[in-house]
Amino acid sequence: MDVSEPAVIRAMEAVPRKEFVPVELKASARDDRALPVACGQSISQPSVVAYMTEKLCLRPSSRVLEVGTGTGYQAAVLAELSRSVFSIERVPELAEAARERLDRLGYERIQLRVGDGTLGWPEQAPFDAIIVTAAADEIPEALPQQLVTGGRLIAPVGPEDGAQVLTLLVRTGSVEWTREKLWPVRFVPLITGGAP
C-alpha cells in the first residue's frame, strides 16, 4: 500500500501516533501494525490510515465524515488535510477519551458525537468524503447518499470472520456510483444500533 501524495505524508508526520495508543504501548507507536486499544477495539496501522486517507483525495476545503472515531487518530490525520471533520463513535467511553485527546492536541476542526455511524450524519451532509473504519458485510445504505456528486467513500467490506477488502465508492451522479475493490484488510466489525 504505497502512498505518494506529499500532503498525506506530511499529515501522517504531523500527527503523533504515540498520543493515541495506551501508555503501555507507546514504545510500539511507530510500528506499522494495528495495536489494541480500549473496549476491544484497535488503532489501524499507519500504512492503512495513510492509504485510506490518500484514496479520499482531500482538499483544504473538504468536509469529511468518519464512521468509527476510536482513539481519534484517523480523525486527526483527516483534520490536517480538510476544512472540517465530523466523526461518529458508538461507544461513549471511546468517544469521551477521543474528545479529550483531540482537544488537548488542539484539533478544533473535528466535531465528534456518539451514535450509530451506519446512519451517517444527515444534518451535516453532504460530505466530500466519507471514511468507515470498521468492517460490514455491505456499505451501510445511508452513507453513499450523504456524498456530494464526485464525493468518495472508502470502507472495509466483508464479514467479521472472513475476507475483507477496502472498497472505494465514487458518486458520479444523483443515483450513480462507481465501485472499486482495492486491498485485502482486517478490521473490527461495524456495529449498528445505539450506544451500548
pLDDT at 156: 97
Q: What is the mean pLDDT of the chain?
A: 94
The confidence score (pLDDT) of residue 91 equals 93
Q: Out of 4, 28, 44, 87, pick the active-site residue.
A: 44
Structural domain span for residue 55: 6-185
Mean pLDDT, rounded, for 151-170: 95
Rounded to an integer, what distance in angstroms lies between the CA atom of residue 65 and that of residue 143? 9
Whether 76 is covered by a domain: the verdict is yes
Catalytic status, residue 44: yes
DSSP string, the chain: -----HHHHHHHHHS-GGGGS-GGGGGGTTSSS-EE-GGG-EE--HHHHHHHHHHT---TT-EEEEE--TTSHHHHHHHHHSSEEEEEES-HHHHHHHHHHHHHTT-TTEEEEES-GGG--GGG--EEEEEE-SBBSS--TTTGGGEEEEEEEEEEES-TTS-EEEEEEEE-SSS-EEEEEEEEE--PBP--SS--
Give the pLDDT mean for 143-157.
97
Residue 191 pLDDT:
82
The residue ranking higher by pLDDT, 149 or 42, is 149
Please state whether the predicted TM-score (pTM) of the whole model is above 0.75.
yes
Neighbours of 33 (CB within 10 A): 12
Residue 26 covered by a domain: yes
Per-residue pLDDT tens digits for 29-76: 999 998 989 888 889 999 999 999 999 999 999 999 999 999 999 999
Looking up residue 29, the CATH number of its domain turns out to be: 3.40.50.150
Predicted confidence (pLDDT) at residue 192 exceeds the cutoff of 90 = no
Residue 1 lies in a domain: no
What mean pLDDT is predicted for residues 86-101?
A: 96
Q: SS3 string of 51-90?
A: HHHHHCCCCCCCEEEEECCCCCHHHHHHHHHCCEEEEEEC
Would 88 be classed as within a structural domain? Answer: yes
Residue 167 lies in a domain: yes
Q: Report the share of the chain in percent with pLDDT over 70.
A: 97
What pLDDT shows up at residue 195?
57
Number of compact structural domains in the chain: 1
Question: What is the pLDDT averaged over residues 123-150?
Answer: 96
Residue 161: its pLDDT value, please?
86
pLDDT at 48: 95
Does the pLDDT at position 18 exceed 80? yes
Whether 192 is in a domain gets the answer no
Specify the pLDDT at position 176. Answer: 94
Per the domain annotation, does 195 fall within a domain?
no
Report the pLDDT value the prediction gives residue 112, as an integer from 0 to 100: 97
Q: What pLDDT, on a 0 to 100 scale, did the predictor assign at position 39?
A: 85
164 in a structural domain: yes
Q: Which residue has the higher pLDDT, 192 or 162?
A: 162
